[in-house]
Amino acid sequence: MTETAVEPSSRRGTPNFRVTALIVASAMIMEQLDATVLATALPSMAKDFAVSAPQMSVVLTSYLLSLALFIPASGWLADRFGARLIFRLAIAIFTVGSVLCGQSPSLSFLVFSRLLQGFGGAMMVPVGRLVLLRTTAKSDYVSAMSWMLVPALIGPIIGPPLGGFIVSYLDWRWIFYINVPIGALGIALVTLFIEDVREEAVERFDFVGLVFSGISLGCLLFGFETASHSGEGRLAALLIACGVVFGLFYLHHAKVAEAPILDLSLMKIRTFGLSVIGGSLTRITQGALPFLLPLMMQIGFGLSALESGLITFATAIGSLAMKAAAAGILRRFGFRNVLIVNGVLGAGSYAICAAFRPYWPEWAIYAVLIVSGFFMSLQFTAYNIVAYDEIPRPRMSSATSFYTTFQQLMLSLGICVAALTLHGSMLMAGRGHAALGDFSVAFLVVTAVSLSATWWNAKLPPEAGSDMSGHKAIRRPPANEKAVRRGQIRPV
């Protein structure tokens, strides 16, 4: 059994979990700001590159694909070289990738630059989360996650209106340049305050597993993304088939490998496995929303980029309001009850977006988006915490890599499902451009997927995560204990 090691110098003046959480949040601000600002600018970027707006989904999926490919290696790299070094390097790579994105002369160069950005992001957030989990007591997990996620919501809040302002009054390339000062600040904070946690004994790196899993995930994601483009059905089918084949190769490899890069045995841990499945289904909706909503507002409603950004940021307001209430809600009702009831409410509120039309009053659209953001943010907070309820500390790095890989994979798949559904609806209606009805179909499809997570949430035990939330589940006495109370049998 290995132990987590920390450099002696980093033990002096070690910051509490709140300081660490805020530093990790600075990296999340940069990543989330980049994603939300970019989503608002896609129609303008499509005009510059002479492609249709739905085709710009490749700019989002290429980044998320890179995350899914390289996140599995993040835990091993942090254990081998130290979390502080890898965290700094990740922020630097992300920042350099941002500069290259801003300099992109073509869509293909932009996709390459987004892949480089994704490589940095693949190490940035998972390693930061790993540091937080390893240096925080279990009873402080809920508070630590809240401290980390509340500042990170600054990105989604200011992202859409900032993106609209940049597109309307500057140039979309400035979307990427704003990451430079944030990245420089992040590197300085990591150098000063982050502990250099690592494992004393590190398993041999699973290079074969990285190749098999990378090819499988890459082919599947690009296959689904390609399927949303006209005339590329054969290529999409070939990519998906290739992804399935290499996925089977990896499954066989994982059974015989000493330390597989994606440790499938973690799925046997009940709370972790159920959180991965339920969270993956729910994240398909979450991944689709930043892609569908700005396009719907600009193409379907005829709004400018700035006007759509001032509307779509409402979901982040709901998310921010939730963070203050998360600890109390989880303590009162417990993880299982929250995930079941709140999951239905969250999916239902997103489904209402399918009914949005230009004649709706703005306050009603804002209200729906704020409520949707509240419910879905609470859902992901619960998933992100209860997943680690039964994970022993020596397996924390592999669990973090595994969980974050599927988290990013499903967000990317959400964009693919939304783009594919949007394209399919257009074809069935014989239209060359997306109409409001096509967006409605896409919203309903992705929310139906999230709703299916309810069945998996119900499988969680009532006491799941009680050590972290403070919730005391009501224990149901066994049948013979009930009989003793009723006087039907004598106690032994």
Handedness of CA 439, 445, 448, 450 (dihedral sign): negative
- Token pair, residue 86, equals 């890898």
Do residues 81 and 61 share a domain? yes
How many whole angstroms separate alpha carbon 2 and alpha carbon 199?
A: 7
Q: Decide: residue 120, CB within 10 A, 0-12 exposed, 13-18 middle, 19+ buried.
A: buried
For 183-202, the pLDDT digits (tens) are 888 888 888 877 776 666 56
Quote the pTM value. 0.72
For 403-425, the pLDDT digits (tens) are 877 877 787 788 888 888 888 88
Q: Report whether 46 contacts 364 (CB < 8 A).
A: no
Do residues 225 and 154 share a domain? no
Please report, for the domain that includes residue 88, its CATH number. Answer: 1.20.1250.20
CA angle 335, 337, 338 (to 5 degrees): 65
Q: Which residue segment(s) compose the domain that 138 sits in?
A: 11-205+261-486
Q: Report whether 300 contacts 365 (CB < 8 A).
A: no
Do residues 108 and 201 share a domain? yes
Residue 6 included in any domain: no
Do residues 124 and 217 share a domain? no
Q: What is the pLDDT along the chain (492 residues), one digit of tens a residue?
A: 344 444 433 343 445 677 777 778 777 777 777 766 777 777 778 888 877 766 777 787 788 778 767 878 877 888 788 888 888 899 999 999 999 998 888 888 988 899 999 899 888 877 877 777 777 776 677 777 767 766 555 665 666 677 778 877 888 888 888 888 888 888 888 888 777 766 665 677 888 888 898 888 888 877 877 776 666 778 888 988 998 999 999 999 988 888 888 888 889 999 999 999 999 999 888 888 877 888 888 888 888 877 887 787 788 788 777 777 887 888 888 899 999 999 999 999 989 999 999 999 989 999 999 998 889 888 988 898 888 888 887 788 788 878 877 877 787 788 888 888 888 888 888 877 788 888 999 999 999 999 999 999 999 988 887 877 777 755 444 444 444 444 544 444
Do residues 215 and 67 share a domain? no
Residue 476 included in any domain: yes
- Total structural domains in the chain? 2
Residue 3 included in any domain: no
The string of DSSP letters for 176-188 reads HHTHHHHHHHHHH
